Structure 1
């Protein structure tokens, strides 16, 4: 009788222990109620743009203006919190409103700098004879910077909200690879550095227009929490109220262009619900 009891206990042990499959590992960036935060850095590219300037004594357009980003040289500035806004940075905060679907708030701090060494086509009028004389055969040479300097370097700030769908590609013990894709829309809140016709430089934050984007990312997640994120983004920006003078005159510029951006950085994800 005792042998029967012992054998029965061993059988039950196998049935409830070794006989059952281990519970599957939880997949990060997948469940409703999860959150993540992310901080990183970007490189940007911009299509050529027609920039229209309008104010007291002038109404003209510069066509096919070339511009690039301005990355900060790598150094301690990338890690010192007191200087983090100097770099071309990105911030994200995401919340999963459904399984595999996140609502994401973002700040994309890009930098847009008009190339100074270029000659562009000109159309319109300028009443000041000094600057009107700089236009020759329908073109103006911007190289000496007397006519115009034009930047969004503090910066080309795209404050956006988006929806992102997430799909787990690799689910290992301590490492996961998660792919996402989505789209966003937001407002442009630049601090534009503009100096036109020798006027005092305009340099102030303001709402200048809107932007929209499509994005995709790969997220390498370690121990279910720590993230390394690489993201690519393409979008369209339209700014119709760029401040060009320091005072409250109605002087302004407008432009629209397509942009591309790649970024990388680190983040952390966690559950808000048990």
Structure 2
């Protein structure tokens, strides 16, 4: 009887040991899938980002290539060549921290999801600002009638037919800015490569690269020969972009980010005088945007 009891005890104990060995083997056979970095084959994190969400908020500074702007409507169809424009960065002040004024500077907001450890899909809103320098001297082609739009707006000395002549563009001819703003609503796909991971495996520096595309939704403040207003937001066109930047994870969840983005946009239906069924402008804008952001991953 005693021998039978000991035999039963050994059998039960043996089954427990076998179960533990199977669990260990399964864990080894199915490790957490962590994407390899282009900076080395050694994986230093012990967790995967797959299935995580993230959100960040930040501010940007932008630069613009010279652009041709076409203005078209009743009595006119002309293009200003190589127009110079800049952003309008708000001075660094406490308004960046004031919740009531948080959207006054040039800002970025983005939310996304990791479809794999080192790939994410996200949606974002890049609120940039674009302001044409006035006055400036540019080449012009096309026709400006004595009166434009309906009812007629006199054009004065600017009336004529042009074939590349240089003219001085002053505020009595044009005021033109996307300051509320030059908004890029976009979807991005990004890849992440660990550059450095601390021993804690919680702090790290990661390279982020990505591509995106979306709609351009400006609110344009335009006055053409004195006629115009700060127009409503409208979907004026589309754009594409590519980016590269660094994310510094203070912890597994909290991070700071600096990213540079280059983009090309085509705006086909820009509101100008406020007579949107008659008057419009169009242009292509190439930009470089640099942004700083703080984010949280969960």
TM-score range, shorter chain: 0.7 to 0.9
Change (3 A) 1:191 1:27: farther
Is 2:155 aligned against 1:131? yes
Q: Secondary structure at the match of 1:195?
A: strand
Residue of structure 2 aligned with 1:246, choices 270, 274, 286: 274
Pairing of 1:51-70 with structure 2 (within 5 A):
51-70=69-88
Is 2:228 aligned against 1:228? no
Is 2:168 aligned against 1:141? yes
Shift of 1:31: 2.1
By relative contact order (CA 8 Å, sep 6+), the higher-ranking structure is 1
What residue is the counterpart of 2:67 in the other structure? 49
What residue is the counterpart of 1:33 in the other structure? 51
What residue is the counterpart of 1:77 in the other structure? 95
Shift of 1:134: 3.0
- Return the alpha-carbon distance in structure 2 between the equivalents of residues 27 and 249 of structure 1: 59
Instruction: Tell which structure's C-alpha radius of gyration is larger.
Output: 2
Shift of 1:249: 3.0
Pairing of 1:96-245 with structure 2 (within 5 A):
96-128=114-146, 131=155, 133-134=157-158, 138-143=165-170, 145-172=171-198, 173=200, 174-245=202-273
Q: What per-residue deviation string (whole Å, max 9, x for no partner) do you get for residues 196-253 of structure 1?
A: 1111314210000001000011000112111110001001010010011223432100
Shift of 1:27: 5.8
What residue is the counterpart of 2:294 in the other structure? 266
- Return the alpha-carbon distance in structure 2 between the equivalents of residues 135 and 70 of structure 1: 31
The answer to whether the 8 Å contact 2:113/2:121 transfers is yes
The answer to whether the 8 Å contact 1:156/1:191 transfers is yes
Q: What per-residue deviation string (whole Å, max 9, x for no partner) do you get for residues 141-196 of structure 1?
A: 123x0000000000000000010001111111242111110100000001011111
- Return the alpha-carbon distance in structure 2 between the equivalents of residues 166 and 250 of structure 1: 47
Residue segments in structure 2 that go unaligned for 5+ positions in a row: 1-31, 33-42, 148-153
Query: What's the TM-score once normalised by structure 2's chain length?
Result: 0.78
Q: Secondary structure at the match of 1:73?
A: coil
- Return the alpha-carbon distance in structure 2 between the equivalents of residues 27 and 153 of structure 1: 45
Query: What's the TM-score once normalised by structure 1's chain length?
Result: 0.85
Shift of 1:69: 0.5
Q: What per-residue deviation string (whole Å, max 9, x for no partner) do you get for residues 250-273 of structure 1?
A: 210000021101111211111xxx
Deviates more, 1:194-203 or 1:41-50: 194-203
- Return the alpha-carbon distance in structure 2 between the equivalents of residues 247 and 55 of structure 1: 10
- Return the alpha-carbon distance in structure 1 between the equivalents of residues 252 and 55 of structure 2: 14
The answer to whether the 8 Å contact 1:27/1:171 transfers is no
What residue is the counterpart of 1:16 in the other structure? none
